[in-house]
Amino acid sequence: MKIPKSHPRYDSLMAREALVEGVKEGIVVRQGLIAHGRGEAFDYLIGEVSIEPAIEAEYAAAGRLLKARHPVISVNGNVAALSAKETVDVALGVGATIEANIFHRTEERVQKIVRKLKNAGAKEVLGLDPDARIEGLDHPRGLCAKAGIYSADVVLVPLEDGDRARALKDMGKVVLTIDLNPLSRTSRVSDITIVDNITRSMPSLAGFANELRGDDERIDRILSEFDNKKNLSEVLKHITRRLTKLESVSFD
């Protein structure tokens, strides 16, 4: 479907179209459409913009990735469909490894996600031949690459499920996530939670990484001042203020 750029919800509708195309390509599962709709509902509440707490978290995440010994970006079908090129840009910018990791796993689907990322410029994508397991996870997302997620010190897990984020934390890893739901298990257990749409946050991460690269003093200051619980609280305050303001608006 051709959507005119003049449409007030152009970006949101284009994301939907990308996910539908991802289903046709075999990258996205139908359950992923439900997950996207849940996130989109929170984006409505936020105002469909990158708010100040999200920007602060994006700076902190970019800094943490730059300081990592072995950063890894975990990619599922929705991430590949919505932000393949941007994910590759972040990986190249911070020297991160990319690994495909999905819940509804078939070898064919993993191959298609890997191909999508390589077509977007990735030189190497792990995940086709998992040779390790995340401790405590019995489902397919527990399968991982020893050279990737298993040995990473910092893992970026956009559009995550809470049990894996917790399991990664239990393994001693620093967990960064992108999640529009500030109340989710993932948001609350992660070290840095970016409450933003992935289509906005991935380009920001790439840009902020480029801005911070080589400035260790600024990175250290950003990380020392960042408090994930406080940041999530600020997101909830923003939503509350916005809803309170909307209550007084007349739609007649």
In 3D space, the residue among 91, 155, 161 whose CA is nearest the CA of residue 125 turns out to be 91
Tell me the C-alpha distance between 167 and 160, whole Å: 12
**Which runs of E-coded beta strand occur in 31-146?**
71-75, 97-100, 125-126, 132-133, 143-144
SS (H, E, C) 149-186: HHHCCEEECCCCCHHHHHHHHHCCCEEEEECCCCCCHH
In 3D space, the residue among 8, 9, 15, 6 whose CA is nearest the CA of residue 197 turns out to be 15
Question: Would you say the pTM of this structure is higher than 0.75?
Answer: yes
In 3D space, the residue among 157, 161, 182 whose CA is nearest the CA of residue 54 turns out to be 182
Per-residue pLDDT of the chain (252 residues; tens, 9 = 90+): 677 777 777 777 777 888 888 788 888 877 877 777 788 889 999 999 999 999 999 999 999 999 999 999 999 988 999 999 999 999 999 999 999 998 878 888 899 999 999 999 999 999 999 999 998 887 877 899 999 999 999 999 987 666 888 999 999 999 999 999 999 999 999 999 999 999 999 999 999 999 999 999 999 999 999 999 999 999 999 999 999 887 665 555
All structural domains of the chain: 52-238 (3.40.50.12640)
In 3D space, the residue among 215, 194, 212, 218 whose CA is nearest the CA of residue 73 turns out to be 194
**154 backbone dihedrals φ, ψ, rounded to 5°:** -130, 130
Tell me the C-alpha distance between 132 and 155, whole Å: 16
Q: What is the SS3 assignment for 71?
A: strand
Tell me the C-alpha distance between 135 and 150, whole Å: 9
